[in-house]
């Protein structure tokens, strides 16, 4: 990577950290009796919104893969809807993983799902901003040998879960 790319990545991460800090202090001005410990569900939602907004603003400012070929409105709308669907799928995927690892299914469903949303915000939204809803690009970036995921890598999460 070039030094400028590394600096951009550093600044993007610093802005995300700054957005988390802002999500701690700004709601106390607008919400009465706001504290992270007592209103943690509200804070999780606010933090998720702040981080998503910062990621989207960074994406719009930097525009990593500006393509003039597909600039129609219908293409942008379908791309945005696909990204929203992928984000929701990642939220449900993380929620299922948390429940499989022992999170309460019935008693604390809202807390568990909001934790899945915030984790999905930190992991999936930046990737959706950079890679878009292109499955082949995701596989190329996140798999070891290019496009095709190896069968051993597919069995590894199942083996890890069964070992616990």
**Do 76 and 41 belong to one domain?**
yes
**Do 91 and 147 belong to one domain?**
no
DSSP characters for 13-78? HHHHHHHHHHHHHTHHHHSTT--TTTSHHHHHHHHHHHHHHHHHHHHHHH-TT--SS---HHHHHH
User: pLDDT class for 92, splitting at 50, 70, 90?
Assistant: very high
**Do 30 and 91 belong to one domain?**
yes
**Do 88 and 149 belong to one domain?**
no
Total count of domains within the chain: 2
Greater confidence, 29 or 109?
Answer: 109
Range of the domain at 144: 134-164
Q: Biggest alpha carbon distance in the chain?
A: 53
State the pLDDT at residue 45: 78
* Residue 103 DSSP symbol: -
When pLDDT is averaged across residues 120-145 and rounded to a whole number, the result is 78
**Do 111 and 161 belong to one domain?**
no
Whether the CB-CB separation of 117 and 91 falls below 8 Å is answered with: yes
**Do 127 and 149 belong to one domain?**
no
Whether the CB-CB separation of 59 and 130 falls below 8 Å is answered with: yes
2-50: per-residue pLDDT in tens?
Answer: 676 667 667 777 777 777 777 777 777 777 777 766 667 777 777 778 7
State the pLDDT at residue 97: 92
Residue 51 has pLDDT above 70, yes or no: yes
How confident is the prediction for the chain on average, in pLDDT? 75
**Do 106 and 147 belong to one domain?**
no
**Do 155 and 113 belong to one domain?**
no
């Amino acid at each position: 990577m070039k030094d400028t790319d590394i600096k951009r990545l550093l600044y993007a991460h610093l802005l995300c950290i700054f957005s988390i800090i802002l999500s701690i202090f700004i709601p106390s001005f607008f919400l009465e009796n706001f504290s992270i410990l007592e209103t943690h569900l509200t804070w999780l939602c606010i933090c998720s919104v702040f981080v998503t907004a910062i990621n989207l603003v960074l994406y719009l400012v930097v525009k990593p893969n500006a393509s003039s070929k597909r600039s129609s409105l219908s293409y942008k709308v379908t791309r945005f809807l696909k990204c929203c669907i992928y984000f929701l799928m990642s939220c449900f995927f993380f929620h299922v993983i948390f429940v499989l690892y022992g999170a309460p299914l019935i008693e604390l469903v809202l807390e568990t799902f909001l934790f899945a949303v915030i984790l999905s915000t930190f992991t999936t939204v930046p990737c959706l901003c950079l890679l878009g809803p292109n499955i082949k690009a995701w596989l190329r970036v996140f798999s070891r040998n290019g496009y095709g995921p190896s069968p051993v890598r597919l069995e590894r999460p199942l083996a890890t879960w069964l070992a616990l």
